[in-house]
Amino acid sequence: MTDHEKLVQQIIPAKLKEIEQRENVRILHCVESGSRAILELLHI
- Please name the residues in contact with 23: beta carbons below 8 A apart, sequence gap of 6 or more: none
Q: What pLDDT sits at residue 4?
A: 76
Domain span at 24:
3-42
Please write the tens of the pLDDT for every residue from 1-44: 888 788 778 888 998 999 999 999 999 988 777 666 666 766 65
Burial bucket for residue 12 (CB in 10 Å: 0-12, 13-18, 19+): middle
Q: How many domains does the chain have?
A: 1
Q: What pLDDT sits at residue 35?
A: 67
8 A C-beta contact, residue 10 and residue 4: no
Q: What pLDDT sits at residue 18?
A: 93
The three state secondary structure string of the chain is: CCHHHHHHHHHHHHHHHHHHHHHCCCCCCCCCCCHHHHHHHHCC
